[in-house]
């Protein structure tokens, strides 16, 4: 069982086979797969608990509805882990609050039926055989709350959401790793062979393998070892609405394809989000991400266009029914993560840049990283390698920015 603790002089490790910087969902998943591979892993988390930064801000959703084969494969494998999580981590009965209530991408665009039929045909051709095209009437048949304006949708029943907190702690508890809380990495030591250790506020850990999983701080951490990563940091907000009888609790994750505004049920109420609500400039990574109280009004106004019951909810809302939080996306130019070795520094590995999909891809992305550490996966077989940027293989905005 993984040990999660604040170390003292006696328990602080002098060395480890792998040091993972960051105790969010990706650091914990990396530690789990490293332990499974027989590696002695130590995770450094500067905060008081795991999963307390970006992972805590997440909408916690997952989907396999992507359009590129490597993304579809990664998400299908990750969802299979979620579906069998207790067994995977070896803790009978462990519960991650898995809700497979589906993902509905719908729209009022009159040209959508043709476009979405073609998209679904493409997705099926790359292995997503359970994605469906729905007409507007089919959407309303399944979900009577949908507006008469809805013209078409894509649907996958096995998409959904979970508890990102329980997922992170499950990976940690199911591992054999040590998780050092309130332990801040301050430098990565490099010698002629490559990575040589990690300096922290509590002392130095000697290691030949470091994995950077520091969320929005990953770019800054990589610079300590001389690595420049193409990461951009963007604020994203989430709004939780307290329980209201008009919010259908059997609804799926529901996304307006034209705008990206989204909502899903959450314990009697709902979680809402919208990447395009406000213009966001790239920023520095920070721990306390400010919220903006214009956000709830903007997102409510948007979601009520295709789901009119939101008008009733909005009319009844009081300030104390709305809970706002914010975190930061760590974006790459093609919106896909950077996984595996950093080519110029032997022993330096990356598990970063998930561009808003780090919870859903955490199992398979982290498994890839560990498979490259152990040599089980060849870096040239890795579609998420760092070198794709140097080779100019990046096509911008390959996948939609919605969750
Ligand atoms: C509003 C919002 C909604 C989102 N919704 C979804 C969603 O529905 N589905 C989805 O898949 N993804 C979603 N995401 C993205 C997802 O939350 C992230 O991709 C994921 O949490 C990244 O995990 P992480 O472990 O890399 O980052 P984090 O959770 O940020 O963890 C990194 C950790 O590293 C620690 N750290 C940093 N520097 C150091 C250091 N020097 N020393 C020690 N520790 C350090 C930090 O304290 C932090 O705990 C959303 C994000 C936001 C902001």
User: What are the tens digits of pLDDT across the range 302-339?
Assistant: 999 999 999 999 999 999 999 999 999 999 999 999 99
Residue 194 has pLDDT above 90, yes or no: yes
Span 172-184, mean pLDDT? Answer: 98
pLDDT digits (tens, 9 = 90+) for 245-269: 999 999 999 999 999 999 999 999 9
151 and 256 both lie in a single domain: yes
Ligand 1 centroid to 342 CA: how many Å? 20
Q: Is residue 77 domain-resident?
A: no
Q: Is residue 87 domain-resident?
A: no
Does the beta carbon of 351 sit less than 6 angstroms from any atom of ligand 1?
no
Q: Which of 330, 349, 366 is the last residue of a domain?
A: 330
107 and 46 both lie in a single domain: no
Contact assessment for residue 272 and residue 238, using Cβ atoms and an 8 Å cutoff: yes
Residue 224 has pLDDT above 60, yes or no: yes
244 and 381 both lie in a single domain: no
The model's confidence at residue 91, banded by pLDDT at 50, 70 and 90, is: very high
154 and 250 both lie in a single domain: yes
Contact assessment for residue 104 and residue 150, using Cβ atoms and an 8 Å cutoff: no
Which residues make Cβ contacts (< 8 Å) with residue 8, sequence separation at least 6? Answer: none
Q: Is residue 81 domain-resident?
A: no
Residue 99 DSSP symbol? B
172 and 321 both lie in a single domain: no
Residue 402 has pLDDT above 90, yes or no: no
- Tell me the angle at which helices 309-316 and 295-303 cross, rounded to the nearest 10 degrees: 150
- Residue 307 is encoded by which pair of tokens? 């789901």
Residue 398 has pLDDT above 90, yes or no: no
pLDDT digits (tens, 9 = 90+) for 57-78: 999 999 999 999 999 999 999 9
322 and 239 both lie in a single domain: yes
Which residues make Cβ contacts (< 8 Å) with residue 378, sequence separation at least 6? Answer: none
The model's confidence at residue 379, banded by pLDDT at 50, 70 and 90, is: confident
Q: Is residue 294 domain-resident?
A: yes
Residue 123 has pLDDT above 70, yes or no: yes
DSSP string, 17-46: SEEEE--SHHHHHHHHHHHHTT--EEEE--
Total structural domains in the chain?
A: 2
Does the beta carbon of 58 sit less than 6 angstroms from any atom of ligand 1?
yes
The model's confidence at residue 391, banded by pLDDT at 50, 70 and 90, is: confident
141 and 243 both lie in a single domain: yes
Q: Which of 292, 295, 336, 358 to mutate to test the pocket of ligand 1 (most atoms within 8 A of CB)?
A: 358
Q: Is residue 85 domain-resident?
A: no
Contact assessment for residue 248 and residue 142, using Cβ atoms and an 8 Å cutoff: no
Question: Where do we find the tokens 């396999």?
Answer: 64
Angle at 60 between CA 54 and CA 64, to 5 degrees: 120
Residue 401 has pLDDT above 60, yes or no: no
How many residues are recorded in the chain?
A: 403
Span 289-305, mean pLDDT? Answer: 97
Q: Which of 298, 330, 362 is the last residue of a domain?
A: 330
253 and 138 both lie in a single domain: yes
Angle at 78 between CA 65 and CA 82, to 5 degrees: 110
Of all residues in the chain, what percent carry a pLDDT higher than 70?
97
Q: Which of 282, 304, 330 is the last residue of a domain?
A: 330
pLDDT at residue number 109: 97
Q: Is residue 67 domain-resident?
A: no
Of all residues in the chain, what percent carry a pLDDT higher than 90?
95
Here the CATH number for the domain that contains residue 375 is 3.50.50.60
130 and 248 both lie in a single domain: yes
pLDDT digits (tens, 9 = 90+) for 139-149: 999 999 999 99
List 44's β-bridge partners, or say none.
Answer: 21, 180
Residue 103 has pLDDT above 90, yes or no: yes
Q: How far is residue 335 CA from its own chain's centroid?
A: 12
Nearest C-alpha neighbor of 334 from the set 383, 278, 281, 368: 383
Here the CATH number for the domain that contains residue 312 is 3.30.9.10
Nearest C-alpha neighbor of 234 from the set 188, 192, 284: 284
pLDDT at residue number 380: 84
311 and 350 both lie in a single domain: no
370 and 245 both lie in a single domain: no
Nearest CA to ligand 1 atom 37: 214
List 236's β-bridge partners, or say none.
Answer: 327
Nearest C-alpha neighbor of 330 from the set 294, 350, 355, 361: 355
Q: Give the span between the Cα atoms of 356 and 120, in whole angstroms.
A: 22
Which ligand 1 atom minimizes the distance to the CA of 357?
Answer: 11
Q: What is the edge-to-edge ordering of all strands in the sheet holding 203-206?
A: 185-191, 194-200, 203-206
Ligand 1 centroid to 107 CA: how many Å? 30
Domain that holds residue 368: 3-59+165-231+333-390
Q: Is residue 66 domain-resident?
A: no
243 and 208 both lie in a single domain: no
Q: Is residue 216 domain-resident?
A: yes
């Amino acid at each position: 069982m993984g040990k999660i603790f604040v170390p003292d002089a006696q328990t602080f490790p002098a060395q480890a086979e792998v040091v993972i910087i960051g105790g969010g969902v990706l650091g914990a998943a990396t530690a789990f797969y490293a332990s499974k591979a027989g590696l002695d892993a130590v995770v450094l988390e500067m905060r008081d608990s795991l999963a307390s930064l970006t992972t805590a801000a997440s909408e916690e959703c997952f989907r396999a509805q992507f359009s590129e084969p490597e993304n579809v494969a990664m998400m299908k494998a990750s969802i299979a882990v979620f579906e069998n999580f207790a067994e995977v981590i070896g803790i009978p009965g462990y519960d991650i609050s898995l809700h497979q209530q589906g993902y509905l991408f719908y729209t009022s665009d009159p040209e959508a039926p043709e476009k979405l039929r073609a998209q679904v045909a493409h997705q099926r051709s790359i292995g997503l055989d359970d994605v469906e095209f729905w007409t507007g009437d089919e959407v309303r048949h399944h979900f009577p709350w949908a507006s008469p304006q809805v013209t078409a949708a894509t649907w996958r029943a096995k998409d959904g959401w979970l508890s990102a907190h329980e997922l992170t702690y499950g990976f940690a508890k199911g591992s054999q790793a040590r998780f050092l809380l309130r332990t801040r990495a301050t430098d990565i030591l490099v010698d002629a062979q490559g990575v040589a250790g990690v300096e922290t506020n509590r002392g130095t850990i000697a290691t030949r393998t470091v994995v950077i999983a520091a969320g929005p701080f990953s770019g800054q951490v990589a610079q300590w070892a001389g690595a420049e990563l193409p990461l951009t940091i963007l604020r994203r907000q989430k709004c939780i609405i307290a329980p209201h009888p008009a919010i259908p609790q059997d609804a799926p994750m529901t996304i307006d394809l034209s705008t990206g505004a989204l909502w899903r049920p959450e314990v009697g109420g709902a979680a809402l989000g919208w990447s395009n609500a406000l213009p966001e400039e790239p920023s520095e990574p920070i721990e306390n991400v400010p919220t903006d109280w214009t956000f709830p009004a903007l997102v409510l106004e948007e979601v009520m266009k295709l789901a009119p019951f939101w008008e009733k909810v909005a009319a009844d809302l009081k300030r104390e029914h709305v809970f706002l939080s914010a975190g930061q996306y760590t974006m790459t130019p093609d919106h896909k993560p950077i996984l595996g070795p950093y080519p110029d520094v032997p022993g330096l590995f990356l598990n970063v840049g998930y561009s808003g999909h780090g919870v859903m891809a955490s199992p398979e992305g982290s498994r890839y990283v560990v498979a490259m550490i152990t040599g089980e996966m060849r870096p040239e077989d890795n579609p998420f390698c760092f070198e794709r940027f140097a080779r100019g293989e990046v096509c911008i905005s390959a996948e939609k920015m919605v969750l």
